[in-house]
């Protein structure tokens, strides 16, 4: 074995490992690249691995990826960063990605932020050439058309509808809204207001259509709707418009738990007690649902599982597979924010 090489800048290279093990650089590449079986003797492979360990050598992942024509980076595109739901989606995707040597970068193309407004417009890539910077895209609660700025990059759509022109992973959001409507109807509510997300995306259209149909099917059922951004201030204004109707609803169904917090504010600004005077429901079951007082009746969506399933589908797609559509069940979680309507109504 050769004597230990002089290592510059404290960062050993494959050449240093080759000198330490007394072999060629090509042999080091074969061994550390996992391609030495049948081409390098076990004793030589062991010598290379031991030399690399002694020197603390780590392969240059960026250079390796460049040679392979891959970045091992995935872009998670979400409509906003103000909703905690999308943080859970990221966690689920990132955990699966890490097990396969991928990283995940989050990108909100048109995030309205805390001041209101809408998000979810056409997304321009944050990269000069998306196909050179990322291997694939996971897009949550958006349309395929909104990603046209990314070119032919492989895409998996989350919570975006079974008709999306890409592999999809969806929630059964219609079932969730039907469960909410049935719960409120069983309590005696017939005038139900919908605090809706002002985004023209499948997931929010599906929620709205499901709750509207369920309420209108009730004997004496009345459905009213007001839309806003996914933030407390905008939702407070939307809920206030419903509560100021000549005949206001006795229950508010919100598309998002954060919007339900805005509905709480609107109710209390008008002297209404929740749930004695007004029932409120949310959607997602993020941490704010149990931070509110009273705790919020909501629909639990397995957000981390959505991200995990989306990343798994994208890995399958990148390996040449054809992942089919997947649908994840949802669950109504009844807490203290819902009760029978007051007797006088």
For the chain (length 345 residues), average pLDDT per consecutive 10?
51 84 85 74 88 77 48 88 89 94 87 41 50 82 76 89 82 97 98 95 94 97 96 97 98 97 98 98 95 98 96 93 93 98 79
pLDDT of residue 144: 73
CATH code: domain 8-59 is: 1.10.260.40
pLDDT of residue 28: 82
pLDDT of residue 89: 96
pLDDT of residue 40: 83
pLDDT of residue 59: 62
pLDDT of residue 143: 77
Q: Distance between CA atoms of 196 and 287, rounded to whole angstroms? A: 20
SS (H, E, C) 52-113: HHHHCCCCCHHHHHHHHCCCCEEEEECCCCCCHHHHHHHHHHHHHHHHCCCEEEEECCCCCH
pLDDT of residue 148: 74
| CATH class in words for 70-171+303-327 | alpha beta
Beta bridge partners of 171: 328
pLDDT of residue 37: 73
- Predicted model pTM: 0.71
**At the fourth CATH level, which superfamily is domain 173-301?**
Response regulator (3.40.50.2300)
Sequence-distant (≥ 6) Cβ neighbours of residue 81 within 8 angstroms? 106, 108, 111
- Sheet with 222-228: list strands edge to edge: 222-228, 191-197, 251-254, 279-281
Q: Distance between CA atoms of 78 and 249, rounded to whole angstroms? A: 32
Name the residue ranges covered by the structural domains of the chain: 8-59, 70-171+303-327, 173-301
pLDDT of residue 34: 66
Sequence-distant (≥ 6) Cβ neighbours of residue 343 within 8 angstroms? none
* 173-301 shares the fold of 8-59: no
pLDDT of residue 30: 77
């Amino acid at each position: 074995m050769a004597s230990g090489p002089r290592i510059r800048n404290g960062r050993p290279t494959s050449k240093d490992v080759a000198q330490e093990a007394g072999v060629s650089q090509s042999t080091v590449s074969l061994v550390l690249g996992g391609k030495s079986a049948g081409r390098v003797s076990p004793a030589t492979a062991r010598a290379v691995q031991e030399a690399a360990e002694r020197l603390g050598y780590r392969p240059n992942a960026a250079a390796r990826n460049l040679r392979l024509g891959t970045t091992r980076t995935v872009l998670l595109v979400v409509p906003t960063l103000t909703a905690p739901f999308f943080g859970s989606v990221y966690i689920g995707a990132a955990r699966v990605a890490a097990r396969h040597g991928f990283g995940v970068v989050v990108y909100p193309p048109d995030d309205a932020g805390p001041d209101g407004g809408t998000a979810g417009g056409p997304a321009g890539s944050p990269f000069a050439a998306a196909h050179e910077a990322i291997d694939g895209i996971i897009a949550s609660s958006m349309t395929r058309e909104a990603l046209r700025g990314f070119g032919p990059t492989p895409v998996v759509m989350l919570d975006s509808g079974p008709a999306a022109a890409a592999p999809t992973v969806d929630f059964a959001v219609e079932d969730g809204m039907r469960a909410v409507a049935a719960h409120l109807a069983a309590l005696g509510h017939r005038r139900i207001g919908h605090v809706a997300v002002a985004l023209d995306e499948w997931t929010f259209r599906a929620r709205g259509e499901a709750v509207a149909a369920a309420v209108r099917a009730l004997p004496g059922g009345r459905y009213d709707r007001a839309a806003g951004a996914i933030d407390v201030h905008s939702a407070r204004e939307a809920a206030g418009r419903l509560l100021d109707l000549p005949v206001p609803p006795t229950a508010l169904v919100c598309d998002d738990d954060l919007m339900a917090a805005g509905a709480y504010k609107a109710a209390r600004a008008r002297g209404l007690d929740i749930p004695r005077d007004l029932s409120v429901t949310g959607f997602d079951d993020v941490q704010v649902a149990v931070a509110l007082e009273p705790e919020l009746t909501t629909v639990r969506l397995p957000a981390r599982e959505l991200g995990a399933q989306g990343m798994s589908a994208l890995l399958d797609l990148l390996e040449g597979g054809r992942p089919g559509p997947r649908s994840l069940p949802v669950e109504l979680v009844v807490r203290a924010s819902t009760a029978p309507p007051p007797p006088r109504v």
